[in-house]
Chains A and B, each alone.
Chain A
Amino acid sequence: GNSVTQMEGPVTLSEEAFLTINCTYTATGYPSLFWYVQYPGEGLQLLLKATKADDKGSNKGFEATYRKETTSFHLEKGSVQVSDSAVYFCALVYGGSQGNLIFGKGTKLSVKP
């Protein structure tokens, strides 16, 4: 079946540290891949997306590359800030329908000053 697996949290980093949150997927066909972020008390915001193999999504210093050979979409940021503290969800859409949006379990990131 279709699924998303992301690294278990919580992840705690110091400000300016390098961030990697691993995400791998299983899907039929060619899914579109997304990272969403949820700040405390808020809904989900789209962070970045990639819709075909080798695409790199980027936004606010975050990057992720669609790797079909390893079925991965790892999230990276070179220097995190306290304001990046949030829950990050990796997600995919398969079968050409947004009704087939599947989320990973989420990874909570805490950044300490």
Chain B
Amino acid sequence: DTEVTQTPKHLVMGMTNKKSLKCEQHMGHRAMYWYKQKAKKPPELMFVYSYEKLSINESVPSRFSPECPNSSLLNLHLHALQPEDSALYLCASSQDSGRSNQPQHFGDGTRLSIL
């Protein structure tokens, strides 16, 4: 069983819709991450939150808006997405983003399809 929980597992939305992806962890981790994974590719980093503050934004379009309400929760708000945004969105957490020897723990992802 994964210790990082993502909801929903699947999401289909139109290009004009607004939706949110949710991620939750109860391991006491202080760093949380969003990745985008296209089919047959490795994950690509989108955002990093460290102690509830956005520390890395990998030049992600503004139609993706992250939010970290508290140390256990991470949201990704979606608006006016494009068909090329269809992908698996993975959330991860780690003890501290500054510890290279402490690995990230991944959720099972949300599979997003844009019509």
* A interface list, Cβ under 8 A from B: 31-32, 34, 36, 41-46, 49, 51, 89, 93-101, 103-106
Contacts and interface: CB of A to CB of B under 8 A. Distances in A.
B94 A103 contact: no
A43 B43 CA distance: 10
20 contacts: A31-B100, A32-B101, A42-B2, A42-B109, A43-B2, A43-B108, A45-B106, A46-B103, A51-B100, A96-B100, A98-B48, A98-B96, A98-B99, A98-B100, A99-B97, A101-B45, A103-B43, A106-B40, A106-B41, A106-B42
A101 B94 CA distance: 12
B104 A98 contact: yes
> What are the 5 closest A-B residue pairs judged by CB atoms, nearest first?
A103-B42, A43-B106, A51-B101, A93-B100, A44-B106
A34 B103 contact: yes
A44 B43 contact: yes
Interface in B33-83: 33, 40-43, 45, 48, 55-56
Nearest to A108: B40
B106 A98 contact: no
Chain B interface category by residue count: 20 to 34
A112 B109 CA distance: 27
Contacts, number: 69
Interface string B81-95: 000000000101010
Interface in B1-43: 2, 4, 6, 31, 33, 40-43
Contacts of A89: 42
Contacts of B104: 46, 98, 101
Nearest to B95: A98
A51 B6 CA distance: 29
A57 to B, nearest CB: 11
Q: Counting chain B CB atoms within 10 Å of each CB, which of A31, A44, A94, A98 scores highest?
A: A98
